[in-house]
Amino acid sequence: MSLIGFHRFLIVSAILFCALFAGWEFRSFTVDGGLSALALGITFGVLAAGLAYYLANLTRFLDREPTP
């Protein structure tokens, strides 16, 4: 596995973690109603979206030509 491939794997792992944690916090907010859970859910949802954008545009960020 190349270094770029391993980097993609780590990004996907981080996206999954952020998305699952955001879902858990949103569920916690609906059950308990704590604003800290809502804030964490929104924060980790935004982080998951940002990492997904980064993964989709990784070749551009690395200044490499896309592989066909």
Q: What's the pLDDT tens digit per position in 5-59?
A: 899 999 999 999 999 999 999 999 999 988 999 999 999 999 999 999 999 998 8
40 belongs to a structural domain: yes
Domains contained in the chain, number: 1
Range of the domain at 40: 3-61
35 belongs to a structural domain: yes
Sign (positive or negative) of CA dihedral 23, 25, 26, 27? positive
Each residue's pLDDT tens digit, 2-19: 888 899 999 999 999 999
44 belongs to a structural domain: yes
Distances from the Cα of 47 to the Cα of 10, 35, 53, 66, 68, angstroms: 14, 18, 10, 24, 28
56 belongs to a structural domain: yes
